[in-house]
Every structure is written in structure tokens, then in C-alpha cells.
């Protein structure tokens, strides 16, 4: 019904955000990754969240996502047997979409099982049902079969990942980071240099 909502950020709570769209406040359940992105927006600031509506017999709930990559990951997760919307949000609070794609590719069920509401059996189902399919649909950059940037040499992959994680900790969103890193030639540069170049890209707007 709704593809996205665009309006003023009215308020945020632990796992919810309210967006004022023309005088109507829409309450959305969001992941911690989306919440981190929203935390950089002052109340009353303009935001856009992509949405998924879950309709149950006794309730209707809107889920909000800062990027289409996170929305796509959510829809893949709720397609796994036994994984509902709340468990999917637990996974997306523990992982960025590309981080989850790597965990699935590496069959890291131990890490996935630590997400809220998942457990060992749920993690095993996620890996079993989404391996290959997930990494093909959700990717931080153009990737090869191993989940590494296809245009980057192997030696640069680790530094790009290290830089991306550092930028995430500074509050930048995954789409912003991906766009900035795509403009940087990482060959021969360490993570610190890549981070400085990415920050320069952010300063340019």
C-alpha cells in the first residue's frame, strides 16, 4: 500500500519512529540501523523511510527502512519459514544488509543466532533458505560470488570493509557509505586514508 513515507520526523523511541506526513503521524517499527540513521536528523527534519505493512487478524503494523537494501533484506527474511517480521527486525538490528549477506555466505549461523528472536534453528533456516538468493539480491557494492567488491583487488577488500564499519560507527548510513566508497580508488590505501577521503566526500554533499 505504501512504498515510502516522506515527511517530518516527529519523534523516535527505542524501536519506533513517527513521521508527520501532512498532519498525520505514521508510527513505524524500525531496526537499530535505521534508528542510527534517524538519530542524525533533528526532530522536525525531513526524512524518508521505505515501508512494509504487515496485516494480521488483530493488528496492522508499519515497518520502516532507511534504504531499499534493508527493505529487500527484510522481505527476504520474512519469506523464511518460521521468521516473522519482529524476528526479521531483530536480525536487521544486528546486521547491515551486506553484513548479513556475508554471514549467510559464510554460513555463520552462530553469529546470526545471536540476533534477537532467532536462535540456532532460526539461524540455520536463514542460511539454508537464503544462501545464494540473499547475496544476489542484497549487496553493498557490485560483488563477486565471495561477496567482495568485484571492481576492487583482493587486498583492497579488507580495508574497504574496515573503513565502512568505522564510518557506520560514526553514524553514516550504509547507502551514504557505499556511494562515497564507490568514488574512491582504494588500491594502495589503508583504512585511515579511505575514511578521510570518504569524509571529504560527505563534506561535499
CATH number at 130 reads 1.10.150.20
**Domains in the chain: how many in total?**
3
Structural domain including 48 reads 4-65
Q: All 3 cell numbers of residue 203?
A: 563534506
Has residue 145 got a pLDDT over 70? no
CA dist., res. 19 & res. 27, Å (int): 7
In a shared domain, residues 10 and 54:
yes
In a shared domain, residues 75 and 130:
yes
Is 146 part of any domain? no
Q: Which residue is it, cell 517480521?
A: 85
Predicted local distance difference test score (pLDDT) of residue 169: 76
Is 107 part of any domain? yes
Q: Which residue is it, cell 553514516?
A: 172
Kindly state the average pLDDT of the residues 161-168. 79
In a shared domain, residues 123 and 174:
no
pTM summary value:
0.65
Helices (H), ranges, the chain: 32-38, 68-77, 85-94, 97-105, 109-113, 119-130, 133-137, 154-169, 174-182, 191-204
In a shared domain, residues 104 and 128:
yes
> At which of 65, 91, 106 does a domain end?
65
Averaged pLDDT score across all residues of the chain? 81
> At which of 13, 34, 65 does a domain end?
65
Predicted local distance difference test score (pLDDT) of residue 96: 86
Predicted local distance difference test score (pLDDT) of residue 158: 61
Kindly state the average pLDDT of the residues 50-69. 89
pLDDT one-digit tens code per residue, 78-121: 999 999 999 999 999 998 888 888 888 888 899 999 999 899 99
Is 52 part of any domain? yes
Has residue 154 got a pLDDT over 80? no
pLDDT one-digit tens code per residue, 35-45: 888 887 777 78
Is 144 part of any domain? no
Percent of the chain with pLDDT over 70: 87
Kindly state the average pLDDT of the residues 171-185. 76
CA dist., res. 105 & res. 30, Å (int): 25
In a shared domain, residues 129 and 78:
yes
pLDDT one-digit tens code per residue, 5-51: 999 999 998 889 999 998 999 999 999 889 888 887 777 789 999 99
Amino acid at each position: 500500500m505504501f512504498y515510502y513515507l516522506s515527511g517530518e520526523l516527529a519523534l523516535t523511541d527505542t524501536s519506533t519512529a513517527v513521521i508527520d506526513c501532512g498532519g498525520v503521524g505514521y508510527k513505524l517499527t524500525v531496526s537499530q540501523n535505521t534508528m542510527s540513521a534517524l538519530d542524525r536528523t533533528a526532530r522536525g527534519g525531513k526524512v524518508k523511510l521505505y515501508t512494509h505493512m504487515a496485516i494480521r487478524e488483530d493488528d496492522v503494523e508499519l515497518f520502516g527502512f532507511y534504504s531499499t537494501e534493508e527493505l529487500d533484506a527484510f522481505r527476504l527474511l520474512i519469506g523464511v519459514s518460521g521468521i516473522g517480521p519482529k524476528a526479521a527486525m531483530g536480525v536487521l538490528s544486528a546486521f547491515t544488509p551486506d553484513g548479513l549477506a556475508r554471514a549467510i555466505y559464510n554460513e555463520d549461523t552462530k553469529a546470526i543466532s545471536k540476533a534477537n528472536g532467532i536462535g540456532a534453528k532460526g539461524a540455520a533456516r536463514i542460511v539454508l533458505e537464503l544462501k545464494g538468493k540473499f547475496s544476489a539480491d542484497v549487496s553493498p557494492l557490485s560483488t563477486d560470488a565471495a561477496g567482495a567488491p568485484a571492481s576492487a583487488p583482493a587486498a583492497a577488500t579488507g580495508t574497504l570493509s574496515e573503513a565502512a564499519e568505522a564510518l557506520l560507527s560514526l553514524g553514516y548510513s550504509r547507502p551514504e557509505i557505499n556511494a562515497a566508497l564507490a568514488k574512491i580508488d582504494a588500491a594502495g590505501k589503508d583504512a585511515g586514508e579511505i575514511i578521510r577521503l570518504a569524509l571529504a566526500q560527505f563534506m561535499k554533499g
